[in-house]
Structures are given as C-alpha cells and as structure tokens.
Structure 1
Amino acid sequence: MFDIKKIPFSRYGSFMTISPNHHEDGEGALYIRNIRNGDNDFGAVFRIDLISEGNSLLYNSVLRPSILRLEAPEGYAEFCISEARVLQIRSHGVGVRLTGVTGAYDYAVFVKENCWEVNHSLQEMRYMLTAVKGQIEMDAPFKEQRCEKIIADFLPEPDSAEMECVLEEFTTVYQPRSYAAFSEGHEIVKKEYKLWQENTLETPNEYARGKELASYITWSCVVTPEGKLTRPAMYMSKNWMTNIWSWDHCFNALALAKNSPKLAWDQFMIFFDAQDESGMLPDFINNRFELWNFTKPPIHGWTLRRMWEQNEFITVDKLQEVYQPLIKWTKWWLTFQDSDHDGIPQYNHGNDSGWDNSTIFHKGTPIESPDLSSFLVLQMEVLSEIALKLGKVDEAEEWLRESQALLTRMIDHFWKGQRFVAKRSGTHEVIESDSLVLYVPLILGKRLPVEILKKLVDGITQKGFLTEYGLATELPDSPYYREDGYWRGPIWAPTTMLLTDGLLESGERELALEVARKFCSMASKSGMAENYNALTGEGLCDPAFTWTSSVFLILGQLLTAEGELNG
C-alpha cells in the first residue's frame, strides 16, 4: 500500500491521475486530473467526495497499484483506471460525488438516462459519465455560456446499496460502447501490473519496499503517444513534474534496457524525434509543446553504451537510426556552445547542465565545466564505436581522434594540480566552488591519469561529499550549502548514478558499492523523492520521481549481482 498524499494513483498509458492538490486545497481532498498540459497546470477536473444522504463524509485512502479504495464508516468506494481513458468506480453503502473544477464555457449535457457528457473546455477534454448500476443526479444549471456549477452524484441502488459507474475521456465524438464489470476491469489491470513488476530489475531483499514503490512509480508514470509525444513516454512524475526532460529520459531508459528493451529504446529516442535541425535537443517535452529555451547535458553516448551492454536488442539497424542524430547533438555543443572558440564547450545557463543552481554558476554564465567535456569525450568515443560497427572506418578513426584531443584539452584547461575547476568562458576566470559537479569527470575512469583519478576519489571520500546517506551535491561545510537547496546540497539520483559508474570505471568497486548501498537504503526508507537531505536522508520536493526509481533499481541490480558474485 502507498500513501496517496505522496504517490498519485494512475496506470501505464494514462493521462488520468488521482491525487490531492497540496498547493491549493489544504483539506487534502482528492481530484481526478488531466495531466496533458505540462507542469504549469495541476489539471484538476473533478473533486472527489463520498456522500451519504447528500452529505460529504470523511474517509481514509488505501492505494494499491491497481486500485484506490476510499473507506468511511458508512461504506467504501473503489476506483480503477481499467483502460488509459476509462476510470471505473464502484461503491457500497455510500455515493460518490464528482464536483467539476470548472471555468469559462464548461458545461454538462444530458445524453440519455444515467448518462451525461461534461465538456471541460479548460482542460480541453470531454468526459462521458455513465451509471452502470445505481443512478446519476446531476446539478448543472446553465447560465449564458457555461454551467454555473457541475456536480454529479452517483448514488447506489436502494436495495443492494451498490453503485457502479464509468468516466471516459474523449475529445470529439463519443463512441457508444459497453464496459466490462468493475471486477473484470480490475483483474485486467492487476495482471498488467504483475507482468511489469516481474520485469522490474532485481534488488536485494532488504530493499523490497523500495522495489515495490519504484516498480509502481515507473509503471504508472508512462503515458501513451499523443501530440508531441511520438512514443510511449515515462513522465518524471504524475504529481507536478508532468513532462519528460532531455537527460532524465536516459536514466529511465537504462532501467528498462535489460528486461523491456523496446520501451527503453523509445525512451532514449523520443528526444531525437524532436531534434532541431541545428542538432539541439529541447529541454523538455509534453504532449502539447517542446521547450527550447534550455537543454540538458549530452549524456546520451554514455547512456547508449550502457544500454547495448544489457542485451542484443540494439542491432546495427538501431545504431544506424541513432548515428546521425547523435552526431548532430555532439556537433551542436562543439559548434554553438563555444563562444570564445577555445575548443572547450560551455553551459550558457545552469539549466543546460541539469545542475540548475550549482555554485559553479553563482558568478554568472557562460561557464566552461569539466563535466560537459567529459560527457562529450565519451560521446565521441561511442560515435567511433558505432561508426566501426556500421563499417565507416574513416569516420570511426576521426571520432576517436576528436575524443582523445578533447580529453587532452580538458585536462590542460581544467586540472589545477589538486582538483578540476570551472571557468568563465572568455576570461577563463576560475570559479571557486565546492560543487560535486567538478567530480563528474570520474566517468572517464582510467582514461584519466592515475594521479588525477586518485585525487578525485580522495576528494569525494576525504572532503566530506560522502555523507551517511550518499553523495551531497555541495560540500556540507560550504557557505553555499542548503539542506533543501536543490543542487546546492541535496543528494540526487542522476549524480549518484553517474559517479557510481565513474567509480566502477576507475577500479574503485568497494567505494562504488558503498555509494549504491547508501542510496538504496535511503530511497527504500524515504521513498523515491526528487532529491534528499544529505544529512538526514529525508525526501525533498516531488515524492514520486521516476528517475529516482530507475536509479534505485539500477543500483539495486548492481548490489544483487555483487551479492550473487560473493555468494
């Protein structure tokens, strides 16, 4: 069971979600939502109440992956999203009231007995409300261009005290149909989820609670292709972060690559479907639009290599599909993100790095940072490997030369004897910072000189980045450290994943496993939060995040494999 106050109720493929609106409703009431319009809109469609003799009842919520149950002393109601656009509800002893969250032009119209259409213009969606057992009482007085209110009471049959109804989304013309009984629809969803759960990566038994939560979050956060979304897309959350971002999707793809490779490939390629002619990838995408004001770091080469290591799914045809897009993405950074033409690419804003407010940006931008060059060194190396697999020998050699040349420039430019630094582009002024982002070059592993690797590892272990719970993104004794400071302190899943991988690449297996254990223990206890307090392990921001779930599962699999190896 999960806490509906933190974890939304939804299902694979659906834009329909049930959760409280903490920002506007202090009562903690539950709302049926439409999450199609991005994270600027909570998407409330109907408020949910249990009723008896016309009065609202207090209730407790019980959330399981396939069903949401609301329990009152007088009775209960159950909700199941049996299809992506179909919400089925049944109750015993109580009725269910749906109160429309309405705006201009919203209206309800009678279709036939116990069947009403609600046109929710604010959410650009229509809803067919049908009572299968019991009846609908609709209160929707129309005045001028809209209904003043829309309140639908679904009331149980007097004899049995039972009610069943269906709410179905549609956009233009409703296609009359019959619906399976609630119990049948619920059984279908249970089987679908069980199959997903069986394909979820293995984790040690001590993290069973975390695995159950991570499995549900990743399953329930997938939406179907629609509008700008060309493939099934795993949203970051169905709480508030209702988009996909252009590095978040990589971690979700990695968690799917072993057991669900087709869906993993869709997660990886969906941003390349939207790629600009210049080579740039949008910052985020939802069904309505792409945002081009920012982008995210080029971890795609690193991701692709880790994906093809999982199985044989990424064939030569798949590599042919991604080769030119990956070239364009790489060249965009090298061509358009180097304003002083020194051969070192730059971030024009913290958002482009993924570390939005990291202290490397506290004196302004553009900033040349060693993590960016590290990603591109790996990405060009991967392009060389792809070119070789495609029989493009000359291109393979050229990409390898470019990769090695950037590695040399990067070390010369950023290494200051004891540490990597970030610099202002143009002036090359060193930015004083205690950010963990300066240790991301560990992902280069043994491509770096031994003395550099040792000092990076020592910096992580001896300076204080590694707390009881994992890797803080800013040194806890830094004057800029904030417990809930986004990238100025909290522990994050993607940075944990990148640095764990870097430690493994550097031969620091025991330290990598320690980091993985700390993270998995914290996430299993505190939930799949967007980030965590580095000193207490408390979950912060959005409590139901998919990339956290994905990294938990990937690191859990690593620990499982280690346990089997030692066993």
Structure 2
Amino acid sequence: MTFSYDIRTIPFSRYGSFLTISYLRASGDRPEGVYLRTVRGGDMTSGAAFRIELTAKGEDVPYTTHATPSRLRLESGSGYAEICIFDGRTVGFRAVGVGVRLTLSGGDYDYAMQMKDNRWEVNSFLNEVRFMLTSMQGQIEMDAPWVRTKCTHVKAHFVPDAATNITEFRIEEYRTTWLERAFPSFDEGVQLVAAEYEAWRQSTLPSDDAYAVGRELASYITWSCVVPADGYLTRPAMYMSKNWMTNIWSWDHCFNAMALVRSNPALAWDQFMIFFDRQDESGLLPDFMNDKYALWNCNKPPIHGWTLAWMMDRTDWIGEAQLREVYEPLARWTRWWYNERDDDFDGVPQYNHGNDSGWDNSTIFHERGAVESPDLCAYLVLQCETLARIAGELGKSHEAAEWQALAQRTLDRMLEHFWQDGELRAVRTGTHERLQGESLINYMPIILGQRLPQEVQDALIQALSDEDRFLSPNGFATESMGSPHYEPDGYWRGPIWAPVIMLLTDGLRRGGYTELAAIAAQRFCRMANTNGMAENFDAIQGTGLRDRAFTWTSSVYLMLAHEYVKA
C-alpha cells in the first residue's frame, strides 16, 4: 500500500528542492488555500509563490487533496489535477477535465513576460527567483495587468485542450538564466521520483512492525526536507521542516546526521560538518543557517562531541580523513565555551540566554542574566573526551592527554559547583544563587553515566523515573508535571522534545539503566507513531504541538525504534 499523507500538516516536496506545496491558512491579504512555495531565504520570508486553484468553465471549483511521496492529486467534481516535482527545480502539472489557475501576488516588482506562444516568464521579486511556465498541452491565458513598474498581479490560467480536455504544463524555478531542457513525460517523471524515494525508504533504519506507520512518515519527512547546496549552504542540508522552520539549527543537525550515518554516511557527514564550514574565527558556530544567511545572535549547546562519538561507534566510514577534517574545528568550538562564556572565571561556562541552551524558555532562564547549568558541563566533558579520542587516533598523544585532563577538571568542577543538598541545580553566574523551577535540564548530566558518583546517579534516576515528576505516559516532560510552572503547551516548560529523549535514553542505556531507557523510548515511539513527527508534544496527552513535520523528531524516532526500544 502506497504511503499517503495530509498536506494540511505535511508539505508535498522532494529531496534536493526548495520547492514545496503546502496548505496555508488565511493571513493578511493571503487567502486560505494550497500554494506552490519556495523555502529559500529561511523562515523570515513568506515563501508563498502561486496559489493553486482548479477551474471548470472559467469558474473556481473546490477540491480535495491526496498526497504520496511522488504525486499530489487535486480531486474535484469536474475533474482532477496531478502534480509531481520532477527534480530540484521543476514541477510538472497534468489536469483532466479542469483548468488550473496559478495566482502570484505581493511582490513590489513582480511581472510576467511572454517568451513564446506557450511560454511565460514570471519574475517573483518577493521570492528572489524567476519561474518559467511552459504549456505542453492546452493553452495559457495570462492575466497580468502592468502598472508603471510591475504587474498588479499575475494569474496564469492553464486551459485544457478542446480535443482531449487535458492541460499539461511545467514550472521551472531559476535565478539567472533559463536554459531549455527536455522533459520526461508526466508518468515517467512520477515513476522516477517514486523509485528515488523507494530507494531512500529502503535504506531508512528498520524497526518492528509496531512502529511501521511512524517509520513511513519519518522516512518521507527526512527525504523531502533535504535542500541542495546553494548560496550560504556549502553542502546538501536537511531542513528542520518545509512548513515554517525552514532553516537548520546548530544542534538539530546532529540528530539528523546520527540517523543517516549507517545508511548514508556521506550525507550524514555533510549534515554534521555544514556548521563547521561557516565557523567564526573565534570558534563560535551560528545559531541557524539557510541558503541566504546565518544568525549569530544566539548559539546552541555543544552536543557535537557526544554526536560524533555516537556516529564513530556505528560506522567505519568515519576514517582518518574525516577525523583530520573535524578535529581543529571541534577543538575551536570547545575552547570557545571556556574562553568566551565564563564571565566570572570560575571554570564553569555559562549560557547567556535560554536560546543558547536550546531550551529557550526553560524555567532556569525565567529571569534576566547568565546561567551556569549542569547540562552544559556534561556536554563539554563528553566533547573533551571525544577530542581526546580523535587526538589519540591521529597520533597526537600529548593533546589527547590535555583534552582528557580538561574533561576531568570540568567534571570535578561540575560536581563541586552544582551538587548541593542531594541534587544538581543551575545557578546564576557570578552570585551562584540557585535558580527556581523544576526543569529537566538539571537532570541531563545522566548522559555522563558511570562517570558520576553513585549518589548523584541515584538522585537523577529517582527523579527521572518518578511518574509524578518527569516520566510522563509519553516520555520525559521538560518541566516537572508537579511544578507550578508546568504548561501543557509551554514549549520548554513541560512538553516532550525528541532531542532530550534521545540524549537521556542514550545516557541511561550507557549508564546501565536499560529498563528505564527502554520505557522512555517505547513511550516516545508509541506517541509519535500515533500523533506524528511534531516539533514537540503534550507530555500527558501526547498531542503533537506546533510544526508536525519535523526532521529531528523523525530522526530520533527512527533511531529509538531501531535500536533503543528493545534495550
């Protein structure tokens, strides 16, 4: 049975393309409907290009949608249209019994120019691209009134051929010069895309039949969210989503790399290294990137050492060449934390803002000011250990010893700094006053496993296994469910997040707490299998919240279902 999905929550797109088709709600002057979009420019641009309508006898007709990875079908009472994204920049349409109207509006200088009887160029300034519209069968009726410097709107109506009642056309996206190419037939294009997707699906991490529904969805989301190397992107990049989170963030990419490393190690390496390609001289990594720019106002936590060690344990593909490529960039990223994020010079790095931690609005960031949090020290311990491992493999024995010594010093300082009265708690930089709230972030050091004293492990496990505090029916809540600050849809104040589940589950298993690790993995996978690959989830109800086509959720689901639920 062919996998299908609802474009109201999951866009129709394909590997290697910025083009996508989405259902958008009404917003400002934009009416509700199905739109051909481009996700260039990240989530700060509208991305909406053409509204797609079906017509019969010149009038709009309502339709329903049915999507598979290779074909989107728009079904009306008068006929239907089918759409396939043939390659990274070409969309094919074929309609039977109905016409197709594409409407572009909103750009300051948008215009349409006829090139031949069957071809029009549409220049979309808002989206910073051009589109070539070519009719293969039927006619183009263009409504694009010119006023001074632009067309007030562009409406391209593709009318069926009178003899066959069919219209077929292509839309090509380009930025500079259009080059004429031969097109496959519509059916050939669909077959090629279907075969390409099936090869991806077959290589997706396998799991038990109980998790098959989620595996199909996660496979499609991860495949369709890859965009090409272009502009600021030095490598192919798996975006977080092609809904609204149309960027890559500098810890999200780690989980996508991990899920790919066994089946597609070269692409996994691209995901891992892409931020290091744009690393600042200081060692800082940008917060997020897209094809147009990077944001440097914030950053994300240093989980890269943990990620790389995890990947190295699961593939022989990462060899000397890759280790030499990553060693110095990873070292600079690590030193940045010690050099640039320790305002009180106590040897314990800090987060200046919640966004720097990835836990944007966690209760430890409830008040203004830099925060020293135990999770950051735990990540740095693992990162230093990974650097020691790489240095050893590269024959840099002196540097390996230095990194190992820094890992131990960081662990010692973490315990001296945060372990008080039988618990780990984040503190304010400088004053070291303990911060309020009951955030799960304080319990992330369980990823250190047996490096921790037994009494620390026992305290963390007691809290993590408490079903009145953090262990919800669906995984680990990010704020204690008994906390006065708990919010069911409070972002990092309660909901479940896939990366936290992955970090904790892996740490629990490696620390020997395999039963708790399996429980958490099973609960999360059961929830996502039922409710989709959302950005986050209501901890108690399991409802998917916000964006429901998220790649890091998909990647974590695939890894947990493949490796951890049976632990």
TM-score of the pair, normalised by structure 1: 0.98
Match of 1:480 in 2: 485
State the 1:178 CA deviation: 2.2
Q: What letter corresponds to residue 109 of structure 2 in structure 1?
A: Y
CA contact (8 A) 1:34 1:43 kept: yes
Q: Which runs of 5+ in 1 are unaligned?
A: 563-567
Give the residue type in structure 1 aligned to 2:560: L
Give the 4+ runs in structure 1 shifted more than 2 A.
25-28, 559-562
Matched, 1:152 2:139: no
CA distance, structure 2, for counterparts of residue 525 and residue 335 of structure 1: 45
Q: Structure 1 residue 378 and structure 2 residue 382: aligned?
A: yes
1:352-405, Cα deviation, whole Å (9 max, x unpaired): 000000001112220000000000000001100000000001111111011011
Q: What is the correspondence of 1:206-245 to structure 2 with a 5 Å cutoff?
A: 206-245=210-249
What is the alpha-carbon distance in structure 1 between the residues aligned to residue 92 and residue 565 of structure 2? 39
| Mapping for residues 10-49 of structure 1, pairs under 5 Å | 10-22=13-25, 24=27, 28-49=32-53
Paired residue type of 2:374: P
Is 1:542 equivalent to 2:547 in the alignment? yes
Equivalent-residue separation in structure 1 for 2:90 and 2:105 (angstroms): 19
Flag structure 2 segments of 5+ consecutive residues without an equivalent. Answer: none
| 1:4 equivalent in alignment to 2:7 | yes
Tell me if structure 1 keeps the 8 A contact 2:8–2:24. no
Counterparts in 2 of 1:245 and 1:210: CA distance versus 1, 3 Å: same
Does structure 1 residue 457 correspond to structure 2 residue 489?
no
Partners of 1:250 and 1:101 lie apart in 2 by 38
Per-residue displacement from partner, 1:516-548 (whole Å, max 9, x unpaired)?
Answer: 000001001000000000110000011100000
Deviations 1:475-514, CA, capped at 9 Å, x for gaps: 1121111111000000000001011011112101011011
Provide the secondary structure at the position in 2 that maps to 1:317. helix
Partner Cα distance (1:418, 1:161) in 2: 76
- Deviation of 1:23 (Å): 5.6
Relative to 1, partners in 2 of residues 1:93 and 1:47: Cα closer, same or farther, differing over 3 Å?
Answer: same
2:429 aligns with: 425
SS in 2 for 1:293: coil
| Mean CA deviation greater in 519-528 or 20-29 | 20-29
Give me the whole-angstrom Cα distance separating, in 1, the residues matched to 2:26 and 2:354.
26
| Residue correspondence of structure 1 range 339-350 to structure 2 within 5 A | 339-350=343-354
Q: Is 1:525 paired with 2:505?
A: no
Question: 1:443 — aligned with what?
Answer: 447
Give the Å deviation of 1:247: 0.2
Query: Secondary structure at the residue paired with 2:475?
Result: coil
Q: Contact between 1:296 and 1:353, CA under 8 Å: does it hold in 2?
A: yes
Distance in 2 between residues matched to 1:541 and 1:58, nearest whole Å: 27
Structure 2 counterpart of 1:469: 474
Q: Equivalents in 2 of 1:34, 1:67: separation in Å?
A: 18
Length, aligned pairs only: 562
Which amino acid is 1:482 matched to? E
Residue among 499, 503, 509 paired with 1:498: 503
Q: Distance in 2 between matches of 1:228 and 1:139?
A: 36
Q: Deviations over 1:276-326 (max 9, x none)?
A: 000000000000001000000000000000011111110011001000000
Q: For 1:32, give the aligned amino acid.
A: L
SS at match of 2:221: helix
Partner of 1:298: 302
Task: Give the Cα separation in 1 of the matches to 2:550 and 2:95.
Answer: 31
SS in structure 2 of the partner of residue 122 of structure 1: coil
Match of 1:565 in 2: none
User: Is the Cα contact below 8 Å between 1:65 and 1:193 reproduced in 2?
Assistant: yes
1:265-304 matches, cutoff 5 A = 265-304=269-308
Distance of 1:334 and 1:22 partners within structure 2: 46
SS in 1 for 2:525: helix
Contact 2:522 2:565 in 1 (8 A): no
Tell whether the 8 Å contact from 2:104 to 2:153 is kept in structure 1 after alignment. yes
Could you tell me which of 155, 168, 171 is aligned with 1:167?
A: 171
Larger mean Cα displacement after TM superposition, 3-12 or 135-144: 135-144
Match of 2:365 in 1: 361
Partner Cα separation in structure 2 for residue 495 and residue 450 of structure 1: 22
The alignment status of 1:101 with 2:105, answered yes or no, reads yes
For the Cα contact (< 8 Å) 1:237–1:545, is it kept in 2?
Answer: yes
Matches within 5 A, 1:182-221: 182-221=186-225
Q: Is the 8 A contact 2:517 2:564 kept in 1?
A: no
Match for residue 181 of structure 2 among 128, 152, 177: 177
Using the alignment, how far apart are the partners of 2:494 and 2:248 within structure 1?
A: 24
> Residues 283 and 329 of structure 2 are in contact (CA less than 8 Å); yes or no, is this contact kept in structure 1?
yes
| Distance in 1, Cα, partners of 2:520 & 2:372 | 28
Q: Deviations over 1:539-563 (max 9, x none)?
A: 001110000000000101114765x
SS in 2 for 1:123: coil
Identity of aligned residues (%): 54
Q: What's the counterpart of residue 516 of structure 1?
A: 521
1:24 Cα deviation after fit: 1.3
State the 1:433 CA deviation.
2.1
Work out the CA distance in 2 between the residues paired with 1:399 and 1:417: 30
Deviation at 1:22, TM superposition (A): 2.4
Moved more, 553-562 or 72-81: 553-562
Cα RMSD (Å) of the superposition? 1.1
Residue 64 to residue 370, structure 1, CA distance change in 2 (3 Å):
same
Residue 417 (structure 1) shift: 3.4
1:172: Cα distance to partner? 1.4
Q: Distance in 2 between matches of 1:182 and 1:94?
A: 17
